[in-house]
A and B are shown apart, each in its own frame.
Chain A
Amino acid sequence: MKTLIKEFTKGIIRENPTFVLVLGLCPTLAVSVTVANGIGMGIAATFVLLGSSVIVSLIKDFIPGRIRIPCYIVIIATFVTIAEMSMKAYSPVLDRALGIYVPLIVVNCIVLGRAEAFACKNSMASSFFDGLGMGLGFTLALILISGIREFLGSGQLLGHTLIRGFEPIFVFGMPSGALLVIGLLLGFFNFLKNRKT
């Protein structure tokens, strides 16, 4: 039980997929314009991560080593298609906002990375908690980035105006703002780490 909790919590801060492992940046940067989009993307990616981790850990003994990557990709693509279709059915607004970045979860390095580095060597239960923790870490990172961008870019959070008369800094809503925010955040975390040691 203790190890399961450890598998779960490591993805949130110590091995955060976005800020520590620096994986899966394309969707992180592209959809983080508003917090709502960030949360939607985070949930979709977590679902795919959970599903593919569990399936890969269950059938790891049947997959020949040489063709394992195509096998993983097919499993991942299946879950992405499920996520894509349910998003189209239940939340068309979100689907339109995320656009081509939903099918692109297939090539998100986090998902394939977890299948290759963790799920193919561990039991189902620990893969489940690993996937859940990594997904949560990814979602939290997305919320942090999109929160900063939405607040500075439009003066709102989740569509609610926070400060009256706040002059929005337009550039943070644009693509270049995403790169600047993540660059400065990474630098800030490096700074904290350097100071600790």
Chain B
Amino acid sequence: MNIQEFLTIFISAVFIYNVILSRFLGLCSFIAISKETKPALAMSFAVMFVIVMSSIITWFVYRFMLLPFNLTYLRTISFILVIATFVQLVEMVIRKFSPQMYRAFGIYLPLITVNCAVLGVAVLNIDMFFVNGKTVAGSFYYSLFQGICVGLGYTLAMLLMSGIRERLELCNVPKALKDFPLAFIIGGILSLSFMGFSGFKF
């Protein structure tokens, strides 16, 4: 466990393998909620929070429940259940303690359960930081840090996209390309520019 490792995780999760633009996780929300900056930002924070918490919870579930009892094939079922329950719990807590925050976040929370990014990061953590059924040294901190970085990458992509689409509202675009098709094409160009971080190999 050293600084270098953390730096590698940061750069690769935020830029090189950006969760949306290069891994295509959480694409539905990226296209659907990126019309304006404000809701996009609220959604990003909600997603980031859930990703971080779920990478902590799923690490513990995998390390102390699935591994010791040889139940690793139950990974998908147990992770999605844990995530769904956790999101439900968060929704209930927020509704009780901060109605204002609930109004800002509330509608996005149920959507997060089926956001591929959350389950994707949980599965990715397990694939990367557990080798042959054994924990890599410091794997918990790596998982936690990867969760935070993926959340940051998601926020970055959401902000860029919503900023561009806000401007685009004022432009005169071909009728056939309005909304979805254009959003995909912009995403493609953004993703092309993010490819620069990994460098070209010919």
CB-defined contacts of A23 to chain B, threshold 8 Å: 28
Asked if A194 is at the interface of the complex by the 8 Å CB criterion, the answer is yes
Residues of A within 8 A of B (CB): 22-23, 25-27, 29-30, 69-70, 73-74, 77-78, 80-81, 84-85, 100, 103-104, 106-107, 109, 112, 170-171, 174-180, 182-184, 186-188, 190-191, 194
Pull 26 A–B residue pairs with CB atoms less than 8 Å apart, ordered by A.
A26-B24, A26-B26, A26-B27, A29-B24, A30-B23, A73-B80, A73-B81, A77-B76, A85-B73, A104-B116, A107-B113, A107-B114, A107-B115, A109-B114, A112-B114, A174-B195, A176-B21, A177-B188, A179-B185, A180-B185, A183-B177, A183-B180, A183-B181, A187-B177, A190-B176, A190-B177
Asked if B77 is at the interface of the complex by the 8 Å CB criterion, the answer is yes
* Interface range on chain B (Cβ under 8 Å from partner): 35 or more
Instruction: List the B residue with the shortest CB-CB distance to A111.
Output: B114
Distance between B39 CB and nearest chain A CB, rounded to angstroms = 19
Contact indicator B124/A175 (Cβ below 8 Å): no
What CA separation (Å) do A178 and B190 show in the bound complex? Answer: 12
CB-defined contacts of A170 to chain B, threshold 8 Å: 202
What CA separation (Å) do A104 and B127 show in the bound complex? Answer: 14
Whether A74 touches B176, Cβ cut-off 8 Å, given contacts A81-B73, A100-B120, A183-B185, is no
Interface code B113-126, partner A: CB below 8 Å = 1, 0 otherwise? Answer: 11110011001100
Contact indicator B27/A29 (Cβ below 8 Å): yes
Contact indicator A78/B77 (Cβ below 8 Å): yes
Q: Across chains A and B, which 10 residue pairs bring their CB atoms closest together, nearest first?
A: A183-B184, A179-B188, A187-B181, A176-B191, A180-B188, A183-B185, A191-B176, A176-B192, A77-B77, A186-B181
Contact indicator B81/A184 (Cβ below 8 Å): no
Q: Chain A contact residues: over half helix, strand or loop, or mixed?
A: helix
Instruction: List the B residue with the shortest CB-CB distance to A77.
Output: B77
What CA separation (Å) do A179 and B20 show in the bound complex? Answer: 11
Instruction: List the B residue with the shortest CB-CB distance to A24.
Output: B28
Distance between B181 CB and nearest chain A CB, rounded to angstroms = 4
Residues of B within 8 A of A (CB): 21-28, 31, 73-77, 80-81, 84-85, 113-116, 119-120, 123-124, 127, 174-178, 180-185, 187-192, 195, 202
Q: Count chain B CB atoms within 10 A of each CB in A29, A100, A188 and give the residue with the most.
A: A100
Distance between B146 CB and nearest chain A CB, rounded to angstroms = 13
What CA separation (Å) do A77 and B27 show in the bound complex? Answer: 20
What CA separation (Å) do A112 and B115 show in the bound complex? Answer: 12
What CA separation (Å) do A183 and B28 show in the bound complex? Answer: 14
CB-defined contacts of B187 to chain A, threshold 8 Å: 179, 183
CB-defined contacts of A179 to chain B, threshold 8 Å: 184-185, 187-188, 191
Contact indicator A100/B127 (Cβ below 8 Å): yes
What CA separation (Å) do A175 and B81 show in the bound complex? Answer: 30
Contact indicator A176/B184 (Cβ below 8 Å): no
Contact indicator B123/A25 (Cβ below 8 Å): no
Distance between B131 CB and nearest chain A CB, rounded to angstroms = 16
CB-defined contacts of A85 to chain B, threshold 8 Å: 73
Contact indicator B184/A180 (Cβ below 8 Å): yes
What CA separation (Å) do A77 and B85 show in the bound complex? Answer: 15
Whether A107 touches B116, Cβ cut-off 8 Å, given contacts A77-B80, A81-B77, A188-B176, is yes
